[in-house]
Amino acid sequence: MSVESNKEIIRRWIEEGWNCGNLDIADELYSVDFAAEPMMEGEAQLRGIEAIKEQVREMRVAFPDLHFTVEHLIAEGDTVVGAFHIEGTHHGQLWGMPPTGKRVSFRVIDIWRFRGGKIAERPLAVADFLRALQQVGVVPRLR
C-alpha cells in the first residue's frame, strides 16, 4: 500500500469509526492482531479489533457528540502520524467520573503502523487529557 492509501485508511477510521460510531469498519481497517500501547498510566495495552472498538464505545458513551477534526496526517513508509482536535460534551461516565454536561476541547497525536494494508499497531498515542479534565472540573485549572 502507498502512504496515501494508509492516510486514507486513517481518515476513514476517524470519520466513520470515531465520528459516526460505525465500529464495523474496524473489521475492514484493522489487522486481527492489532496492538496499541496504553494512553494513560495504569491502562492495559489494547489487543485486537474488539479492544479498539471498546475504546471508541467508552468515549462515545461519555461524549455522545464526540467529533475528531483531522489537523495533520503525515506518512512515511508503513507509518502514519496524525494530529487531531477533539470536541464533545461530557454526558456519560468515563474513568469513574460522573457526567458533568461540560464541553471539552483537546488534542491527540497518534502514530500508527501498517502491515498488509491494515492498521497493525499504535505504538504511541498522546492526548491532552489534563486539558479535558480541567474543562470538566475534575482537575483545577492553573492560574
- pLDDT above 80: residue 64: yes
> What is Dmax (Cα atoms) for the chain?
49
Looking at per-residue confidence, does 82 or 97 come out higher?
82
C-alpha–C-alpha distance, residues 92 and 69, integer Å: 21
Does the residue 112 lie in any domain?
yes
9-35 confidence digits (pLDDT tens): 999 999 999 999 999 999 999 999 999
Instruction: Quickly state the pLDDT bin for 39 (edges 50, 70, 90).
Output: confident
Q: Which three cell numbers stand for residue 48?
A: 485486537
The answer as to whether 141 is a domain residue is: no
Give me the number of domains the chain comprises.
Answer: 1
Task: Please report whether residue 58 resides in a domain.
Answer: yes
Domain span at residue 118?
Answer: 3-136
| 1 has pLDDT over 90 | no
Cβ pair 36, 53 in contact under 8 A:
no
Query: 67-87 burial, b if ≥16 CB within 10 A, otherwise e?
Result: ebeeeebebeeeebbbebebe
pLDDT on residue 142: 78
Mean pLDDT of the chain: 93
| CATH code of the domain in which 76 resides | 3.10.450.50
Q: For residue 141, what pLDDT is reported?
A: 82
Q: Is residue 142 situated within a structural domain?
A: no
Residue 126 has pLDDT above 90, yes or no: yes
Residue 43 in this model has a pLDDT that exceeds 80: no
**pLDDT at 79 > cutoff 80:** yes
Whole-model pTM: value is 0.92
